[in-house]
Each structure stands twice: as C-alpha cells, then as structure tokens.
Amino acid sequence: MAALRIVLTIVFILVSLALLIVVLMQEGKSAGLGAISGAAESYWGKAKGRSMEGVLLKVTKWLAVAFMVLAAVLNISKF
C-alpha cells in the first residue's frame, strides 16, 4: 500500500506542475479589451474550440479534475 501511495503522490506532483504550466500559458481575459467591437466575431473567436486557447482550456479542465480526484484519493488513504 505504501508503494501505491508513493506512485500516486508522484503523479499528483506531476499533475500539479502541468496544471500550473497550462494555466500560465493561457491569455488573460483582458487581452482583447482594446479591440474594435466586432473583433470578437473574427475567425478565431468563432473557432475557439479548435484554436490553441481552446485546447489549453480543455487541458486545464481535465488536469483540474485529475488534481481534485488525486487529492481526494490521497486524503482518503490517510485514514
């Protein structure tokens, strides 16, 4: 059981670091505030799910779920 805890802790640390990096790679919400009012309807605004920003958003969600699950599992295994 101790070996599994060590492996899960290492995975938890790696997920934490990956989540940190992915969040820091994302643009801020205020990045497009200076644009003309129609700029949000550009090609990249409509196809955000296929852009790099959309991919980073999906990866962030999955890493956050993995972070929460691993944190819960590591906390339960203490008892």
Distance CA 57, CA 29 (A): 12
Structure tokens at 65: 């779920």
Q: What is the pLDDT of residues 9-68, one digit of tens each?
A: 999 999 999 999 999 999 877 765 555 555 555 555 555 667 888 899 999 999 999 999
Virtual torsion, Cα 26, 32, 34, 37, nearest 10 deg: 180
Single pTM value for the model: 0.73
Q: Is 71 a residue whose pLDDT tops 70?
A: yes
The gap from C-alpha 56 to its chain's centroid, in whole angstroms, comes to 7
* Count of Cβ atoms closer than 10 Å to residue 48 Cβ: 13
pLDDT of 42 reads 54
pLDDT of 49 reads 63
